[in-house]
Amino acid sequence: MGAPDGERLGPYHLLSTLGAGGFGEVHLALDPEGRTVAVKILHPHVAADRTALARLAREVETMRRVQGPYVAEVLDASLEGARPYLVTRYVQGRPLSAVVAGDGPVGGDDLVRLARGLAEALAAVHAAGVVHRDLKPANVILTDGEPVVIDFGIACALDSASVTVSGAVLGTPGYLAPEVLEGAGSGAEADMFSLGATLAYAATGRHPYGTGPPSAVGYRVVHHAPDLEGVPGWLEPLLQECLRRDPAARPSAAELLDRLGAAGPAVHAAFPRARPAAAVGGRRAVRDQEATHLQDAVRDQEATHLQDAVPREAGAAGSSVQELTTRQWRPGRRPPPGRLSAEEARERRRTVLHRRWIVGTGLLVSLAAATAREPLPEVSLLLLTSYGLVMLVDGGIALFGRRDRARMVVDLAGAAGAIALWAVLGTFFSTLTLALALGTVVFVLVAILMAS
Q: Along the 452 residues of the chain, how does pLDDT read in single tens digits? A: 456 656 888 899 999 888 776 677 889 999 988 889 999 888 887 777 777 777 777 778 778 888 888 998 888 888 887 888 889 989 889 999 999 999 999 999 999 999 999 999 999 999 888 888 889 999 999 988 899 998 876 755 555 444 444 444 456 789 999 998 888 777 899 999 999 999 999 999 999 999 999 999 999 999 999 999 999 999 999 999 999 999 999 999 999 999 988 665 555 555 444 333 333 334 334 334 433 333 333 333 333 333 333 333 333 333 333 333 344 444 444 444 555 555 666 778 888 888 888 888 888 888 898 888 888 888 888 988 898 888 888 888 877 876 778 888 888 888 898 899 888 888 888 888 888 988 888 888 888 878 75
pTM over 0.85: no
Exposed, middle or buried: residue 356 (CB in 10 Å: 0-12, 13-18, 19+)? exposed
Helix, coil or strand: residue 102: helix
134 labelled catalytic: yes
The one catalytic residue among 134, 151, 308, 411: 134
- How many whole angstroms separate alpha carbon 104 and alpha carbon 282? 14
Helix, strand, coil shares of the chain, percent, nearest 5, are 55, 10, 35
Q: What is the DSSP letter of 31?
A: -
Which domains, from first to last, does the chain contain?
Answer: 8-331 (1.10.510.10), 343-451 (no CATH)
- Give the contacts of 178 (CB within 8 A, at least 6 positions apart): 193, 221, 222, 245
Exposed, middle or buried: residue 44 (CB in 10 Å: 0-12, 13-18, 19+)? middle
- How many whole angstroms separate alpha carbon 221 and alpha carbon 404? 60
136 has binding-site annotation: no
